[in-house]
Structures are given as C-alpha cells and as structure tokens.
Structure 1
Amino acid sequence: MEDQVNAKTGAFSIEERHRRHADRYPVREYVSAMAFELAQMARWDGDEHLAGLLEAAAQAAAQRPGE
C-alpha cells in the first residue's frame, strides 16, 4: 500500500496514521481478550446476559474490519 502523504504539509493522512498505529499495537487483540475476561467475570457474578454481550464484543474485536 502506498503511503498517503499530504502534498502541502508532508504529513501522513489520518487513515495512514491509523494503519501504522494498528500495525504496531495489537489493539483489537487486546480488546478481544479483555472483553472475554470481562465476560467470564460477568458469568461468575451470575449475569449471563452481560456475559453474552461481552463475548459478542470479544468475537467482533477478533475479526479484522472487512472480514
């Protein structure tokens, strides 16, 4: 993918900065793991509804956009 640089400022586009950040930091993997752990905590507390919502969030975070 070609770098998207603003011709006037020489700065990277917002999309390019986001892509570069996402490549270095596994944010989606972290969110997925954290949501899964929170789902377990909700289940231990007897809140099956919240656990299901958190597991759905964990699954959504585990998928890359566009997949």
Structure 2
Amino acid sequence: MKRIRSWRRAQSCKHGGRVAISPQDFKPEKNWKLIYTRADKLHRARQLGMTYPIRTTRQLLDQM
C-alpha cells in the first residue's frame, strides 16, 4: 500500500494528532542577538553563570 500524505494525516488524527509543548520542554533563547530585553539578557546570563554586560579591564578599574 502506498502511503500518501492523506493517509499520514488520517493516521496522525487517529493517533492523537499534534502534541502540545509542556512548560518543561521550553528552552530559552541561546543566541544573544535574539534576546531582546535587558532583563531577559541578565536572567539568561545568570543561568549560564556569566557576567553581563561584559566589561573590559579598563571599565572595571574605572569603577573602583
């Protein structure tokens, strides 16, 4: 039997169709260019264990 698109769609509906994504499966953005707000960037940096914004040595010395 040749399994065409209509057959696959019918089987998908028959066996549950689409599965909703649970909150545990959600993964935040890893590409910094796609993280829009500063708060989101700070939150992601905290998760990754890094400092944000990244400061140069000169900026750290000027802060003291």
TM-score past 0.5 threshold: no
Q: Work out which structure has the larger RCO, using CA pairs closer than 8 Å and 6 or more positions apart in sequence.
A: 1
**TM-score for the superposition, normalised by structure 1:** 0.28
Larger Rg: 2
